[in-house]
A and B are shown apart, each in its own frame.
Chain A
Amino acid sequence: MEQFEPTIVAFCCHYCAYTAADMAGSMRLVYPPNVKIIRVPCSGKVDTLHIMKALEKGADGVLVAGCLEGDCHFKTGNVKALQRVTYLQGYLEEIGIEAERVQMVTMSAGMGGRFARITTEFTEKIRELGPNPVNAGGSRLAAS
């Protein structure tokens, strides 16, 4: 059987996580191609609804990536993002979706290595969880 290739959306804040992702590239660190980044000015901009919509539309996992605690460019956006992710995890459990499909992570702009490691680990975790249950019948197994 072909290996399940999850689709993962990462909402990355411009100042830290997105920069860290660029840094990982310039350091030529290899991480799985499953993670696709949507840039936001701050992790505090990430709406619970965006995460829900991503999952509803079939994403197998969602990362919300912000600055390290205390380092948010906008003071507390990352703290709020974490609160929302935690709330949403409870909601997902209610619906019967694994809470681990959504995760909040933090990193500084210079942490290209951390970005690569986190995305690798998260992809592995989602791969173990299997396809998002809303993708009935696992039709999203790697076709390409």
Chain B
Amino acid sequence: MPNQNNTVLVIGSGVGGMKAAMDLSEAGRDVVLIDQAASIGGLMTRLDRTFPTNNCDLCTIAPNLSENARDKHIEVLPLTQVSALQGQAGDFTATLTRAPRYIDMEKCTACGECHKAFPECVRFEPGLDHRAPTCMRYPQATPQAFSIDMEKCEDTAALVNACPAGAINPDDGERTEERQVGAVVLAIGAELFDPSGLENFGYGVYPDVVTGLEYERIMSASGPTGGELVRPSNGKPPQRVAWIQCVGSRGINREDVSYCSGVCCMYALKEAIVTKERFQDDIEATIFYMDMRTYGKDYELYYDRAKKTYGVRLERCRPHSIISDAASGQLTISYATDASSALTTEKFDMVVLSTGFRVTENACQLARVLGIELNEHNFARTQSFSPVATSRPGVYVCGVFESPKDIPETMMQASAAACLASKNLVPVAAGNGEAELPPERDVSGEEPRIGVFVCDCEQNIGGAVDVDALAAYAGKLPGVVLSQSAGHGCSREALEKIKAAIVEQNLNRVVIGGCSPRTHENLFQNTLREAGLNKYLVEMANIRDQDTWVHMNYPEMAMTKAKDLIRMAVAGVAQAQALKDNTLPMNKDVLVLGGGVSGMNAALELADQGHRVYLAEQAGHLGGMALAVRKTLEGDDVPSYMADLIEKVSQHALIEVITQAIVVDHFGMPGMYKTGFQIGPRMYYRQIEHGATVLATGATHNVPRAYSLGEHAAVTTQIELDSVIEDQPERVKDWGQLVMIQCVGSRVPENPNCSRICCQSAIKNALRALDLNPDMRVFILYRDMRTYGFSEDYYAEARRRGVIFVRYETDTPPEVTPDGDKVKIAFADPIIGRKLAVTADCLALSTGMAVNEEATEDLATIFHLNRSLDGSFLEEHIKLRPTDLSIPGFFVAGSAHAPKNIKECIAQAQAAASRVLSMLSKDTINLGATVARVDPEKCATCLVCVRACPYGVPFINEDRYSEIDPAKCHGCGTCAAECPAKAIELTRFEDAPIMARLEGLLERSA
């Protein structure tokens, strides 16, 4: 029977699959998360660092990995594949086939003895070492158990005997089971291109030619060289490293694919920056590229930093081959640039091939099993207005298997897929029971028994301070009964150890010497709770973000400061008290701001899943920027899509559309917000109560004063040209020459970021104009063509159909002069080295988008939201939480986050809906435990708190003392700081722990 199912099958456990699984489980859905690999994590776990923050990947993702395994709603099945999918959306039967692990997970303790006994067989470094049978891919692998590849094992008996737990079972066999699921999310990613077949680059022949991923592994602290950057050929540090972009991508040669892999430019820049930053800044880093495609949010700034701050050299050309120079042991690259027609030859110590994404035959096979259509490149086929739905209803796709993309976009699509998948399930049951936890031990009155756990976070902390020595130091501090190094404290294994230590040593307080409580406190609080301690009895000493990262090169300083920070934390935690969180009922209604494509899609998804939605739009009608668009690059009709969308939204029983609405005030907290509007021409005031907010306030069409725009009739923008082509084709038929200029008002000092959509728009308009008027000459003057992903095919088609692409530099921009009703455009052609002039009937400027400065500034002020440097809303985490904003209960979708095309806006709108669904699935709001408490004995009823509270919460009660309702208190502590009788304490930040920290810091032994 359909719609009785609450389970989603998620195939693939990389970041995309994990994100989808976590969104669904947070929303109270059950998830079966399968992966053909032995542990979850996917590609991201193999990277060293991520752009553009250069954060360590494992640190970024490890909490998610551990969290995943801990979530009761998620069943993780590694080594598992789907062999059949029957039924229909809402009622599928999936046949799962599990490959043998040869290890009994119940018995395995992850001691690693098998790994020690067979060191020669351990595969730890994908791509650099092909040996195998026992394989745990990275230190935080979840599940923690090892797995064995029996085919490669020669002496089974010896292997079985190596295990002290008797967990190895050589007779383990393949198992098949059926699962009833309501929907399927495909998040299988893709493989990276193997360049072995390209003889010209000598990959696999010259050891110092490596792929981008292998270079990541070499730099990674968990990699084969322990984080030392050395040449594979001789183990010595390289002095000159080159990157060659687009290896296997954007090509027409043997083994090439035509599309752009979308991420390689950024990862090459990142690898080059990290090389200089972490290893030696005198290592020369050179990137050979065709177009630098840094089109993501703030990526252009990263590109600028690579060039200006780090001195990464960028050479625009695509070298043909790499030759090994036997005499020097170096690699020779010969290349030509615009500057000279002669070939330049240079020697490098290492060459990194920037290889892109490939769909494997395995994935194609899976697509056949699932019965979904693939596109011409064998990626899952989706539609322009339906970014994550495959051709089979109930089966959704996210991440790279949909099209090449980076992590933030994968995260958006993963949430979007979760949102659509949950539509096929039974309506979510109210009040999903919390996981059962052991009773909390009462520690009041006990002397502190503090356990200190110091993380090494690999090189992040361990690289700067001696973690064991630090732990030994902490062991001598007052109240500390146990102190030890914890490795990756946030790994599943370490968390289990901490839990065990709490119980065994009867600890009543814990200090984690690790990273920031902002990101990890929650994880450790849960760990304490699971060990039967109140979650507020843990304190984190932030020795990574605020010490070792800062003083990486001054180990002595770092160590002294680390000791100070640990001492403060130990002194503080000794004063910590057990506290109870306050809760309130959750308001399940949603406010969506902005009635464009993003806002309407978010509203529809939420209303379809049972939430009342207030859709507020500043303009007098729905539609937003997309109303000006006629066609997508793929040729889909935008106006009919918009008409349909507006109709659906306007007719939906659960959506109330409020136009001409301006936000004027805002109060409350996540789960119970109140937002005031002035509405309509008479500006009447109305307050809306809602639990969550989606900001889809869009951007504006950028209209810079450049190239006679707005002064000459022949000069127009791409968006206007799009309408002219559709609405006045006869005009286009008369044109002799059409010129386009890219990056007008983008990638300039005033607006440094790339507007992302303009290259596609230009190609789209060029091709459509040529359809109408094939004899017309079209010129596109550009800086870098950024037709990422499959839009590269349209760029190739444009070249094939005769569009002339001429690059310009910012120091010699095109010059535009009126020429009657036409305009003359003069520009330098760098290839032929001459100045040319074209008289055009139409000059279309690719002006892109700009942040709606006024709207975002007002909203950011009213809602207290942070903004990025460009003025757009700043997401909570640039990689993993691109749709969440810094304040819980606020989510962003569409171009209010960063420039996007319609398909990308829809994906983020559905993602925002998913995030809201996750949040609002709970029936209560946790207010935390930080509230002001009054001691009636001390209160002098002076009214200072009543007057000082920014929210007007305290009052003098009938018993003649100040009373503060914990449900209303926001926990700022202003009253506590002002109380002249010292009668108010802010829980978690009482005077005692603050004073204790000061004493801990200042009473150092001389």
Contact = CB atoms under 8 A, between A and B. Distances in A.
B991 A47 contact: yes
A125 interface: no
Contacts of A77: 950, 972-974
A41 B991 CA distance: 13
A44 interface: yes
Contacts of A30: 550-551, 553
B550 A31 contact: yes
A38 B974 contact: no
Contact of B866 (A21, A40, A110): A110
B976 A47 contact: yes
Nearest to B976: A45
Nearest to A34: B561
Nearest to A109: B866
B581 interface: no
Interface residues of B, number: 56
SS of A interface (majority): loop
Contacts of A21: 545-546
Interface stretch (B104-112, B219-227, B829-837, B998-1006): B998-1006
Contact of B1003 (A28, A57, A144): A57
Interface in A31-61: 31, 33, 36-42, 44-50, 53-54, 57-59
B547 A33 contact: yes
B561 A41 contact: no
B560 A33 contact: yes
Interface string B940-979: 0000000010110000000000000000001111101110
A53 B973 contact: no
Contacts of A73: 864, 972
A84 interface: yes
Contacts of B551: 30, 33
B271 to A, nearest CB: 16
Residue from the set B54, B545, B565, B874 with the largest chain A CB neighbour count within 10 Å: B545
Given A30-B551, A74-B970, A18 B568 contact: no
Contacts of A38: 568, 994, 997-998
A9 interface: yes
Contacts, number: 138
A54 B991 CA distance: 12
Contacts of A40: 973, 989, 994
B866 A108 contact: yes
A143 interface: yes
The contact size tier of chain A is 35 or more
A25 to B, nearest CB: 4
Given A33-B560, A40-B989, A50 B972 contact: no
Interface string B493-530: 00000000000000000000000111000000000000
Interface string A63-104: 000000011111111001000100000000000000000000
Contacts of A53: 995, 998
Residue from the set A22, A49, A54, A108 with the largest chain B CB neighbour count within 10 Å: A22
A1 to B, nearest CB: 18
B557 interface: yes
Interface string A101-144: 00000001110000000000000000000000000000100011
Nearest to B979: A47
Contacts of B978: 80
Interface in B832-889: 861, 864, 866, 868-869, 874, 886
A53 B992 CA distance: 12
Contacts of A44: 950, 972-974, 977
A131 B945 CA distance: 36
B927 interface: no
Given A9-B998, A33-B560, A108-B866, A74 B950 contact: yes
A33 B277 CA distance: 20
B558 interface: yes
B552 interface: yes
Given A36-B564, A50-B998, A58-B1002, A42 B549 contact: no
A42 B516 CA distance: 17
Contacts of B550: 24-25, 28-31, 33
A26 interface: yes
B558 A41 contact: no
Contacts of B989: 40-41, 45
Contacts of A84: 977
Nearest to B974: A44
B48 to A, nearest CB: 15
B405 interface: no
A125 to B, nearest CB: 19
B176 interface: no
A4 B292 CA distance: 49
B598 interface: no
Nearest to B994: A50
B485 interface: no
Given A26-B545, A44-B974, A45-B989, A39 B998 contact: no
Contacts of A18: 518
Contacts of B999: 57
5 closest residue pairs by CB, A with B: A45-B973, A74-B972, A25-B545, A25-B549, A44-B974
Given A7-B1002, A22-B516, A28-B552, 12 more contacts: A15-B886, A21-B545, A21-B546, A25-B549, A30-B553, A37-B542, A42-B972, A54-B1002, A70-B861, A77-B972, A110-B868, A110-B874
Interface of A: 7, 9, 14-15, 18-19, 21-22, 24-31, 33, 36-42, 44-50, 53-54, 57-59, 70-77, 80, 84, 108-110, 139, 143-144
